[in-house]
């Protein structure tokens, strides 16, 4: 018996082994990127980055960092994944105009919340 409406007996958290025709997408190379834009909002940095070797969303990512300025990241590897040991984004958004708007709202909301 499944959980959730319309899911039947199949779990919503199926394993990656269930897809026999899925093609693995290449991971972004943290050393091969182009920063499209950056915006500092208080203690938060929004980066719009393109990873030429990545195929989903044409390699575009919107990343949000806390306590980091653009100059601190300049000329360093930028890994878009959530990591425990390196500089890591606190949020990612879909690389669209709407995603950028949401990233700005997110940062402004955090500033208002912690003010």
**Per-residue pLDDT for 16 more than 60?**
no
Q: Are 45 and 65 in contact (CB under 8 A)?
A: yes
With pLDDT > 70 as the criterion, what percentage of the chain qualifies? Answer: 78
CA distance 57 to 95: 7
The C-alpha angle with vertex 45 and arms to 77 and 99, in degrees rounded to 5, equals: 100
CA distance 58 to 73: 22
**Per-residue pLDDT for 7 more than 50?**
no
pTM: 0.78
Alpha helices in 2-89 (DSSP H): 70-73
Q: So where are the chain's domains? A: 16-114
Of residues 109, 110, 81, 89, the one with CA closest to residue 47: 89
How remote is the C-alpha of 2 from its chain's centroid? 30
Instruction: Write the DSSP string, 60-85.
Output: EEEEEEES--HHHHTTS----S--SS
With pLDDT > 90 as the criterion, what percentage of the chain qualifies? Answer: 69
């Amino acid at each position: 018996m499944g959980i959730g409406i319309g899911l039947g007996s199949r779990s919503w958290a199926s394993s990656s082994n269930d897809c026999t025709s899925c093609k693995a997408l290449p991971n972004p190379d943290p050393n091969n990127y182009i920063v499209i834009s950056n915006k500092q909002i208080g203690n938060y940095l929004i980066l719009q980055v393109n990873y030429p070797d990545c195929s989903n969303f044409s390699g575009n990512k919107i990343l949000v960092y806390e306590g980091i300025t653009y100059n601190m990241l300049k000329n360093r590897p930028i890994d878009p994944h959530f990591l425990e040991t390196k500089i890591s984004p606190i949020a990612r958004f879909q690389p669209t105009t709407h995603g950028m708007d949401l990233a700005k709202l997110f940062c402004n909301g955090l500033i208002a919340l912690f003010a």
